[in-house]
Structure 1
Amino acid sequence: MSSYNHISFKPIWTIGEKTIYELGQCEALILTLSETPIFPNYRRQLLHVSLVKGAQSTTAIEGNTLSEEEINELIEGKELSPSKEYQAQEVKNILEAFNNILTQVVDGDRPLLSLDLIKELHTKVGKNLGEIFRAIPGQFRKENVVVGKYRPPDYQNVESLLNELCHWMKSYFHFEKGQSFAETVIQSIVSHVYIAWIHPFGDGNGRTARLLEFFILLRAGNPDFASHILSNFYNETRPEYYAHLDKSTRTGDLSEFIAYAVKGYLDGLKKVMATINKSQVEIFWRGYIHDTFSHGPLTAKNENVNKRRRNLVLSMPYDRPVSVEEMTLLSRELILIYKDLSDKTIDRDIQELLRLELITEISSNRFQINQNILKKALPRKAQKK
């Protein structure tokens, strides 16, 4: 095994100041994401997107061409064309693996890295893939292979190398004794790379490595709806992913790969946080509207009229103006309410919302929710120069 100089089971990496800072930002975002209540529909949407993007990304890296739309169809129980049956099964396996791991971790089953765990993950990857999948699911390879220009370790050494990897993960990263957030992230990335290096299976090693990375992050408290981030980042930056993996293989130094992965992790968390912020804006806005119609100086005494006007403003989008014609078509409920009402009634409703300063007229007959209300709800701070 001495010829595998890059597989040293030693912390051959340096975490630079920038990466340390980014890990701190990641930890702060994870804490915020984990403790911020969001509407159930936003949570369902986030988790759904996470599963779809995660499955699409980790299989796309290996050549799967299914689109997010097609994966959505699979989730809905629809069948794809026979020519895409194999690719559909690949994605189904990853979706099932994500859900199983999530259930396992949430239920409190958080095992340490072991040969059985690695085999179990590979079994999920290769389920029902038949002979096209160049491996027996859950069994280590029985022959030597070449991956591009890379020659992985002799198959006879696979089990002993994985045993050493598991022992090193336990002693160096000490999950059962408690570990810092930074240690968790680094362990997930290092485990991913080592599985790629050892290449224990005839096929499906990349997907198994990324499932292991996902498991380690989830086990340590990564929110379920942020589970897709690294796989999605690797897929979106595929040339960089392979370039960093190749360089780390040649040098045995994981510094650049870790820095690359942490940056992608941070960027992904920021995107998830932006979606969460939208939920918080909706919570505030709904509360403000309900408070206005409960305690504000309303011109109408009829409860149904005020309810109609309240529903109208609540249906308006936050980020764009809408025309008068579009306003009454924003939801099925509004369509049914306004279909038998006159233009004068619609105009009176709009005028009341303007009077209450809940909406503003952007241009002729185009209206938007009053952004100043949202801005005033934010903390005051110095303007950037």
Structure 2
Amino acid sequence: MRRFETTHPWLRSFDTDYLVHAPPRIWMILGEIKAKCEQLTGIPLMRQTADELYTVYLARGVLGTTAIEGNTLSEEDVRAHMEGKLKLPESKEYLKQEIDNILAEIRRMLSRRRRRKLPPWSTKEICRHNKVVLKDLELPDEETVPGEIRKHSVGVGRYRAVPAEDCNYLLEQLCKWLNSSNNDTNEDSRIPIGLVKAIAAHLYFAWIHPFGDGNGRTARLIEFRILIEADIPIPATLLPSNFYNQTRTEYARQLDRASQSGGKMDQFMEYAIRGFSEGLSEQLASIRSQHLQISWISYVHEQFQGMTGTAAKRRRNLVLALSEQDQPVPRSQIGEINPRIAREYANASQKMISRDLNYLIEMKLVERTIRGYRARKERMQAFLTSD
């Protein structure tokens, strides 16, 4: 009899029977998640927009998984670093290294997924994840070796991880379960079951806690790989890490509760599933906003089609400049919206500005409000709303 069978008896078997007894509300959320993922996949995006979306959520996801462990960089810092523009003092260089390690492993998995060359789950592969996570970082003690299963006892808060002597065995069992469950789902259930499997694997790994350091980041990489294997849209696969970071106090509380419950994952599951669904809603809202902007720009150009001359060009540029503003622009600031407008109205009289604004109001492209002037982008909503 192995020691973990006494200390952690719920780890005798790995499964995702959570769905067997999941309440109806969870099935409803999973159904919504499937529909949202299909919407994300089916929305046509310009290459620039798609690249921007990917970069935004990659930065958030990578930051999320490192920030939970104490990385203090901001999302803007991470994006600047990804572009090679972030400068930090030597004492903070390790913050960039933490980001680089996660980025390297995510990009490796994505590349291999695209080439259909992701290896089967194995203890060796999971150890590799941990080795990359801890590459060139200061370790907590001499006993911790990146990529090597611990030989000492560890714990997180009140939770004591499984005995060191059982870590290798339990990792092998976890990998056996992951490999055997890869072909258990049909196309219709691939996304919801893939999500549940990813969350369950995250919990199982956290309970085993097989390494001296980097277990949380390694668990979230495992979760990420399962999500890309379930064909969840790439930007969405990084949502869990971002959600855990945004709710890190609750994340720690849910992990602790699951650990103290003797292997019950119901509450952690609901917490993670709801967070994923909310993240998908935010992504869809962001994409719809970008579609609205693209459609509006096209519409404005159509309205000025056939019009020539300096005045038409100036008025068109003014509408587009107003379209980029989050709030109405006061009349006194119209000529200063952006450098281009400033140049075009540099020598303009107040009568010219008023004439241009009134012309655009008549075209129903601009509206005057108490706070100033705004573009009427909402006219595009009827064309973009399907419900």
Q: Same fold (TM over 0.5)?
A: yes
* Cross-structure match for 1:10: 15
Shift in CA distance, 133/320, structure 1 to aligned 2, threshold 3 Å = farther
In 2: Cα distance, 1:84 partner to 1:234 partner: 24
Q: Which amino acid aligns with 2:295?
A: F
Name the SS for the 1:294 alignment partner: coil
* Cross-structure match for 1:34: 41
In 2: Cα distance, 1:65 partner to 1:343 partner: 49
Shift in CA distance, 99/342, structure 1 to aligned 2, threshold 3 Å = farther
CA contact (8 A) 1:133 1:203 kept: no
* Cross-structure match for 1:298: none
1:349 and 2:356 correspond? yes
* Cross-structure match for 2:147: 138
1:99 and 2:107 correspond? yes
Shift in CA distance, 215/326, structure 1 to aligned 2, threshold 3 Å = farther
Cα offset, 1:309, TM superposition = 1.5
* Cross-structure match for 1:263: 274
CA contact (8 A) 2:293 2:377 kept: no
CA contact (8 A) 1:101 1:215 kept: yes
Cα offset, 1:305, TM superposition = 2.5
Cα offset, 1:176, TM superposition = 8.8
* Cross-structure match for 2:258: 248
Name the SS for the 2:367 alignment partner: strand
CA contact (8 A) 1:74 1:80 kept: no
1:12-48 superposed Cα distances (whole Å, 9 cap, x missing partner):
5332211111111111111111111234443333222
Shift in CA distance, 326/101, structure 1 to aligned 2, threshold 3 Å = farther
1:218-247 superposed Cα distances (whole Å, 9 cap, x missing partner):
222222222331112112222322222223
* Cross-structure match for 2:191: 181
1:318-373 superposed Cα distances (whole Å, 9 cap, x missing partner):
64211234333333332332223333332222222112111111137x21122562
In 2: Cα distance, 1:163 partner to 1:362 partner: 65
Name the SS for the 2:10 alignment partner: coil
1:161-214 superposed Cα distances (whole Å, 9 cap, x missing partner):
111111112223526986621110011111111111111111000000001111
CA contact (8 A) 2:98 2:133 kept: yes
* Cross-structure match for 2:163: 154
1:66 and 2:73 correspond? yes
In 2: Cα distance, 1:351 partner to 1:6 partner: 72
Q: Return 5+ residue gaps in structure 2 as ranges.
A: none
In 2: Cα distance, 1:217 partner to 1:31 partner: 14
TM-score by length of 1: 0.89
1:79 and 2:87 correspond? yes
CA contact (8 A) 1:64 1:87 kept: yes
CA contact (8 A) 1:126 1:133 kept: no
Q: Return 5+ residue gaps in structure 1 as ranges.
A: 296-300
Shift in CA distance, 133/219, structure 1 to aligned 2, threshold 3 Å = farther
Shift in CA distance, 378/235, structure 1 to aligned 2, threshold 3 Å = closer
In 2: Cα distance, 1:133 partner to 1:368 partner: 59
In 1: Cα distance, 2:184 partner to 2:335 partner: 56
Q: Which amino acid aligns with 2:31?
A: G
CA contact (8 A) 2:68 2:248 kept: yes
Identical counterparts, % of pairs = 34
CA contact (8 A) 2:292 2:381 kept: no
Q: How does 1:1-385 map to 2 (within 5 A)?
A: 1=2, 2-3=5-6, 4-7=8-11, 8-13=13-18, 14-77=21-84, 78-132=86-140, 135-174=144-183, 180-249=190-259, 250-294=261-305, 302-317=308-323, 319-363=326-370, 366-370=372-376, 373-377=379-383
In 1: Cα distance, 2:116 partner to 2:346 partner: 53
Q: For this pair of structures, how many residues does the alignment match?
A: 375
In 2: Cα distance, 1:96 partner to 1:380 partner: 39
In 2: Cα distance, 1:188 partner to 1:248 partner: 16
In 2: Cα distance, 1:198 partner to 1:113 partner: 16
In 1: Cα distance, 2:223 partner to 2:51 partner: 23
Q: Which amino acid aligns with 2:366?
A: I
Q: Which amino acid aligns with 2:9?
A: N
